[in-house]
């Protein structure tokens, strides 16, 4: 699995929602849970999916109106990586910004 090269607060917020959910989360609900705009969240989801940290699946038949929803869930490896990043965030003193680099990889 590829390591995440850019760790931002919005990325950590998205990972926090995914780690905290036992079931797949649809994109807009994920944005609301992370308290971030969809225009911020969807590129993060795309990047995480490209890295193999999450799997996105389109819903099948649905009773709700509107476009089909895409649901996201962490892979086993993604859950391990996300938990490590979130643990590091929890240990960081309040007011200290998130480092722009993860695992010493520039990006």
The residues, any chain, with a CB within 8 Å of residue 27's CB and separated by 6 or more, are: 38, 41, 42, 45, 69, 70, 71, 72
Q: Which residues pair with 70 in a beta bridge?
A: 58
Domain boundary assignment for the chain: 9-59+67-90
User: Which of 34-38, 50-54, 60-64, 97-101 bottoms out in mean pLDDT, i.e. has the lowest?
Assistant: 97-101
The 10s digit of each residue's pLDDT in 6-58 is: 899 999 999 999 999 999 999 999 999 999 999 999 999 999 999 999 999 99
Q: Of the candidates 10, 2, 76, which has an alpha carbon nearest to the alpha carbon of residue 43? A: 10
Q: What is the DSSP string of 28-40?
A: HHHHHHHT--HHH
Sheet containing 25-26: which strands, arranged edge to edge? 25-26, 70-74, 54-58
Residue 96, pLDDT > 80, answer no
**DSSP annotation of 105:** B
**DSSP annotation of 3:** P
Q: What pLDDT was estimated at residue 107?
A: 34
> What CATH number should be reported for the domain whose range is 9-59+67-90?
1.10.10.10
Task: Indicate the pLDDT class of residue 67, thresholds 50, 70 and 90.
Answer: confident
The 10s digit of each residue's pLDDT in 70-84 is: 999 999 999 999 999
* Residue 74 to residues 5, 9, 24, 93, Cα–Cα distance (Å): 18, 18, 8, 27
């Amino acid at each position: 699995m590829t390591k995440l090269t850019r760790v931002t607060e919005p990325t950590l917020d998205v990972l926090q929602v995914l780690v905290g959910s036992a079931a797949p989360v649809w994109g807009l609900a994920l944005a609301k849970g992370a308290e971030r705009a969809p225009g911020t969240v969807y590129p993060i989801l795309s990047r995480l999916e490209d890295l193999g940290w999450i799997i996105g699946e389109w819903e099948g038949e649905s009773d709700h109106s509107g476009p089909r929803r895409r649901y996201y869930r962490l892979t086993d490896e993604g859950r391990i990586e996300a938990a490590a990043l979130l643990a590091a965030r929890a240990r960081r003193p309040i007011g200290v910004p998130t480092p722009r680099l993860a695992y010493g990889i520039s990006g």
